[in-house]
Amino acid sequence: MSGVYEFVSLLLFCHLMPLLLAAACPPLLSCGDLGNISFPFTTTERPDCGFLPIRNCEDPLKFKMIQLQNNGEWFRVVLVAQLRNSSIITFQIRDKHLYDLLQNESCEAFRYNYTIPPFFHFAALRIQYHTSLFRCKRSLHVSPPTGMLNYTKCPDYDLYYKHIITADDVSRSSLAACTEVQLPIKDVPDAINPFTFVTADIIIRVDLTDECADCNYRHGGQCKLDSTETFCCVNGILQQKP
Ligand SMILES: *[C@@H]1O[C@H](CO)[C@@H](O)[C@H](O)[C@H]1NC(C)=O
Ligand SMILES: *[C@@H]1O[C@H](CO)[C@@H](O)[C@H](O)[C@H]1NC(C)=O
Ligand SMILES: *[C@@H]1O[C@H](CO)[C@@H](O)[C@H](O)[C@H]1NC(C)=O
Ligand SMILES: *[C@@H]1O[C@H](CO)[C@@H](O)[C@H](O)[C@H]1NC(C)=O
Ligand SMILES: *[C@@H]1O[C@H](CO)[C@@H](O)[C@H](O)[C@H]1NC(C)=O
């Protein structure tokens, strides 16, 4: 009786999915010094078990690496923080190039604009702590907005920033001619030297869609797209049968 019910459920979840995909994914995968990882993370050896595969999990001598977009750059993963059965998921990566620029106090660092492409079907990724900095050509002679700090040691532009800058902040009007960049931070951006609060160790938060969280945490399944690009939950209920 229950066997029939479960089989029907699977078909409803995923009627166009080849049943071949129903090879069970282990609830935890070991990934060297990152410890045990679970969905949405996986290892590159098991790309079917998550959408954030980590490379070199089995090689203790190599950094663990992740890609944030297809064919994109590989970043070193420093930390994965996951609570079991919870959709609170964060991980930390290091951008080596930005790291080197910050170590050198190179103003090239402020040419970065950090945004994460929203290419994931089952989750939104965002940088947990970041701020806006305004890069203003010195020749523009912008009048310093009240309450904003500046950094004037870059070759041909000055930087403006403040503790909290909202989308409708009045300071923005006097900075309209400047270039706004988003950068990850590790401290409140109120220091005299921005190299003390901008960071290359970036904490990224993953918010699973409700249907994917439900599939994974309630049904123990894998979030997939079927052949018509429709969400489907594979292998959930069937896997739990004795
Ligand atoms: C990883 O999981 C295994 C099996 O569940 C467990 O024995 C081990 O202690 C875990 N390791 C860590 C670092 O949590
Ligand atoms: C940082 O400075 C060192 C020594 O001046 C230099 O060799 C290196 O190329 C610089 N790195 C970057 C990323 O600018
Ligand atoms: C930088 O800030 C200081 C202190 O608020 C101010 O006196 C100075 O005019 C500012 N410099 C620029 C270039 O905005
Ligand atoms: C940086 O990204 C933000 C947000 O996507 C955008 O508003 C801004 O124009 C970008 N700046 C540059 C210099 O590309
Ligand atoms: C996670 O949720 C599943 C399904 O509800 C349950 O079987 C399992 O015991 C839970 N694990 C933990 C650690 O809470």
Instruction: Identify the pLDDT of residue 186.
Output: 95
Instruction: Identify the pLDDT of residue 159.
Output: 96
Question: Residues 116, 141: one domain?
Answer: no
Ligand 2 contact via 104 beta carbon (within 6 Å): yes
- Ligand 1 pocket test, pick from 31, 36, 37, 80 with the greatest ligand atom count within 8 Å of Cβ, gives 36
Identify the nearest ligand to the CA of 240 by its number. 5
Give the whole-angstrom CA distance, residue 242 versus residue 237: 11
pLDDT tens track for 112-128: 988 877 667 899 999 99
Q: Tokens 């490379």, residue?
A: 55
Range of the domain at 176: 130-184
Question: Residues 96, 139: one domain?
Answer: no
The token pair at 156 is: 């041909």
Neighbour tally for 198: CB within 10 Å: 25
Please check whether residue 242 lies inside any domain of the structure.
Answer: no
Question: Residues 51, 141: one domain?
Answer: no
Instruction: Identify the pLDDT of residue 203.
Output: 95
Residues lower than pLDDT 50 in the chain? 1-12, 16-22, 237-242
Instruction: Identify the pLDDT of residue 101.
Output: 97
Give the whole-angstrom CA distance, residue 219 versus residue 25: 13
pLDDT tens track for 129-167: 999 999 999 999 998 888 899 999 999 999 999 998 888
Question: Residues 163, 215: one domain?
Answer: no
Output the CA 237–ligand 5 centroid distance in Å. 13
Question: Residues 28, 58: one domain?
Answer: yes
Number of domains comprising the chain = 2
Please check whether residue 51 lies inside any domain of the structure.
Answer: yes
Please check whether residue 116 lies inside any domain of the structure.
Answer: yes
Ligand 1 contact via 26 beta carbon (within 6 Å): no
Instruction: Identify the pLDDT of residue 166.
Output: 85
Please check whether residue 3 lies inside any domain of the structure.
Answer: no
